[in-house]
Amino acid sequence: MPERFLTVQEAAETDRLLETIADLVAERVVARLNAPNTGRLLSTEEAATETGMTEATIRSAANGGELAHVKVGRVFRFLRSDLDAWIKRSRQE
């Protein structure tokens, strides 16, 4: 089957569709970022991503009693509000 190129009109329509998709994705991302804290427990990996710290730092703070957590077996879980409180307590001016 020979290679087919898009017409100018098809390319313009493709661009419009891609822009529409990008706008929809951006709206969803903003909505999720602005969503209230649902109280969902975060994994160590998610907590590290949220705080910009390493997983080892998060685990160390939890093991040392500095960071409130829930432990299910050997797995840590964290509330976003506890992460925020820990960061505020640790802040040095």
The residue assigned the tokens 């964290």 is 78
Do residues 48 and 85 both lie within one domain? yes
Predicted confidence (pLDDT) at residue 22 exceeds the cutoff of 80: yes
Domain extent, residue 27, equals 1-35
pLDDT (average), residues 34-59: 88
Looking at 1-93, list the stretches that DSSP marks H as alpha helix, in order from N- to C-terminal side: 8-34, 44-51, 55-63, 80-90
38 pLDDT band, cuts 50/70/90, is low
pLDDT (average), residues 50-57: 95
What is the tally of structural domains in the chain? 2
Do residues 30 and 53 both lie within one domain? no
pTM as predicted:
0.58
Predicted confidence (pLDDT) at residue 74 exceeds the cutoff of 70: yes
